């Protein structure tokens, strides 16, 4: 919806404009319906009062002397109809005594009952009926093509004709109210649907951009559109997204600098160790240097995963899991897979591959016979890595996600890593808007359950 120039586009003004458009649409539809179907705003003929007036005039003319009847009929005419009296010998009276009632004949019985003489000859016809061409009938055929006539034969065989130059009755009040309410409802629903759709569109785009930013920090900014309140919120969101992107970029550069600065003294330590004559001390020094180098590499890899610049894309999650399983199969480790053949997911495939590799590697390292299951729910995907080990003490299920925390307290590489695998896996899963949870199974072993919400590209 585009508001006129000079009017600030806000939610309040859009709602006000919606109400005005609904009312205007109702009036326009009501007017159009009146023009197409007739005077719906007026009462039906039997409730318009015309028949009662015709009955009164009929009784008055019936009782008046013949000499006064022309003057009385002229005086009885109103803005709604004209009244004419015709002598018994006139063609009009002859037509009324012998003519057939036209399509409006259903009102003839009503008129006869109101007059009080049910057996009275009454003829109702329209300007386009044959009776209307009777010679001597007083009305402007060219100026009033839609006239209606009610003819009554008097006791002396003369006749009284009421001519309504314009139709002045319509449908019943109940029917009119129903139609008007239907028009009001239709116009209100139509206008509200259009405006509501336009109001909801920027909100949907905003929600989609927020979800995408959760999985893709490099997502482009959202175009500012919609009412002023939405544009303000979108502007704040874009500014927040830009600040987070700058923070991630600065941290990535800092990590690169740390990596360079730490590798340099380690290299010097190794070079100086070459001058140590004691071979045992030299071996221990080189072992410590290698361990520090490995620790630094893992820590930097952990933080690089958090600050990954990998863009989100659509990929086959089931195929990704089978690729990881094939890598373990090449090492002689069979990891069964249970799940659908193809599942399209929008996310960072390399980061997720690292996360699931860490989970399967932990199951292989600390338990036996791991398996992978993939289940597709209504709005999410659930990846479970299940092993047949001894599980984890319940009070340790959440502590193991802390960086550098290990159930096995030694730092020996042969008994495990540095306690970063689960931390990195959960960080990656949460970076996709999901979560990672460890559960001890009732039948024995541990289940690492990753829940990934499904987002549109």
Whether residue 230 is predicted with pLDDT greater than 90 in this model: the reply is: no
Section 189-194 average pLDDT: 77
Assign 286 to helix, strand or coil. helix
Cβ neighbours, 10 Å, residue 339: 19
- DSSP assignments along 172-184, one per residue: -HHHHHHHHHHHH
Q: How far is Cα 99 from Cα 138, in angstroms, rounded to an integer?
A: 17
Q: Quick check: 199 and 171 in contact, CB under 8 A?
A: no
> Which of 57-66, 119-128, 326-335, 436-445 is predicted with the least confidence, judged by mean pLDDT?
119-128
Say which residues have a Cβ less than 8 Å from residue 146's Cβ, sequence separation at least 6.
126, 127, 165, 166, 167
Whether residue 85 is predicted with pLDDT greater than 90 in this model: the reply is: yes
Angle between helices 279-306 and 228-273 (to 10 degrees): 170
- Write the pLDDT tens digit of every residue in 91-116: 999 988 886 654 445 566 666 666 66
- Name the phi and psi angles at 252, rounded to 5: -65, -45
Whether residue 331 is predicted with pLDDT greater than 90 in this model: the reply is: no
Percent above pLDDT 70 for the chain? 78
Q: Tokens 């500012």 sit at which residue?
A: 224
Q: Quick check: 206 and 222 in contact, CB under 8 A?
A: yes
pLDDT band with cut points at 50, 70 and 90 for residue 41? low
- Write the pLDDT tens digit of every residue in 254-296: 766 776 677 778 777 878 778 787 888 888 888 878 777 776 7
Cross-strand bridge partners of residue 383: 374, 450
Say which residues have a Cβ less than 8 Å from residue 178's Cβ, sequence separation at least 6.
none
Whether residue 303 is predicted with pLDDT greater than 80 in this model: the reply is: no
Q: How far is Cα 415 from Cα 406, in angstroms, rounded to an integer?
A: 10
pLDDT for residue 411: 47
Section 126-144 average pLDDT: 83
From 404, 369, 393, 348, select the one nearest 356 (Cα to Cα). Answer: 348
Q: Quick check: 92 and 86 in contact, CB under 8 A?
A: yes
Q: How far is Cα 302 from Cα 296, in angstroms, rounded to an integer?
A: 10
Q: Which residue has the higher pLDDT, 121 or 154?
A: 154
Q: How far is Cα 366 from Cα 16, in angstroms, rounded to an integer?
A: 66
From 163, 187, 186, 175, select the one nearest 41 (Cα to Cα). Answer: 175
From 367, 328, 358, 376, select the one nearest 427 (Cα to Cα). Answer: 358
From 109, 128, 112, select the one nearest 120 (Cα to Cα). Answer: 112
How many angstroms from the chain centroid is the CA of residue 121?
64
Compute the mean pLDDT over every residue in the chain, rounded to the nearest whole number: 78
From 136, 167, 163, 140, select the one nearest 150 (Cα to Cα). Answer: 163
Tokens in use for 408? Answer: 């096995």
Q: Is the pTM of this model over 0.75?
A: no
pLDDT for residue 229: 79
């Amino acid at each position: 919806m585009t508001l006129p120039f000079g009017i600030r586009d806000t939610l309040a003004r859009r709602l006000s404009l919606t109400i005005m458009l609904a009312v205007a649409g109702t009036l326009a539809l009501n007017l159009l319906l009146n023009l197409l179907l007739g005077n719906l705003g007026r009462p039906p003929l039997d409730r318009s009062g015309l028949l009662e007036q015709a009955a009164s005039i009929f009784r008055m003319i019936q009782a008046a002397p013949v000499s006064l009847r022309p003057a009385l009929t002229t005086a009885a005419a109103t803005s709604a109809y004209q009244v004419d009296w015709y002598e018994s010998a006139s063609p009009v009276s002859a037509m009324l005594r012998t003519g057939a009632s036209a399509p409006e004949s259903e009102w003839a019985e009503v008129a006869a009952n109101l007059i009080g003489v049910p057996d009275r000859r009454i003829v109702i016809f329209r300007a386009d009926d044959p009776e209307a061409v009777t010679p001597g009938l007083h009305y402007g055929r060219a100026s009033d093509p839609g006239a209606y006539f009610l003819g009554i034969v008097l006791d002396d065989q003369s006749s009284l004709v009421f001519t309504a130059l314009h139709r002045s009755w319509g449908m019943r009040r109940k029917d009119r109210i129903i139609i008007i309410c239907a028009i009001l409802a239709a116009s209100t629903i139509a206008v509200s649907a259009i405006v509501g759709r336009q109001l909801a569109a920027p909100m949907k785009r905003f929600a989609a951009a927020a979800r995408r930013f959760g999985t893709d920090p490099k997502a482009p900014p959202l175009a500012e559109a919609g009412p002023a309140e939405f544009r303000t919120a979108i502007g704040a969101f874009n500014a927040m997204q830009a600040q987070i992107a700058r923070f991630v970029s600065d941290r990535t550069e800092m990590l690169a600098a740390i990596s360079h600065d730490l590798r340099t003294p380690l290299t010097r330590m190794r070079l100086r160790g070459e001058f140590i004559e004691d071979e045992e001390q030299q071996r221990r020094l080189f072992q410590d240097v290698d361990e520090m180098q490995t620790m630094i590499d893992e820590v930097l890899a952990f933080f690089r995963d958090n600050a990954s610049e990998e863009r989100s894309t659509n990929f086959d999650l089931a195929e990704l899991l089978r690729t990881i399983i094939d890598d373990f199969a090449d090492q002689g480790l069979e990891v069964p897979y249970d799940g659908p053949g193809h599942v399209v997911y929008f996310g960072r495939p390399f980061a997720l591959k690292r996360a699931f590799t860490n989970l399967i590697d932990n199951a292989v390292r600390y338990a036996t016979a791991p398996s992978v299951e993939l289940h597709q729910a209504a709005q999410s995907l659930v990846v479970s890595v299940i092993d047949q080990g001894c599980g984890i003490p319940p009070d340790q299920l959440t502590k193991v996600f802390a960086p550098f925390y290990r159930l096995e307290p030694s730092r020996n590489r042969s008994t495990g890593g540095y306690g970063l695998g689960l931390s990195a896996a959960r960080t990656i899963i949460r970076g996709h808007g999901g979560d990672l949870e460890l559960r001890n199974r009732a039948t024995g072993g541990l289940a690492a359950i990753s829940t990934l919400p499904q987002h549109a590209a």
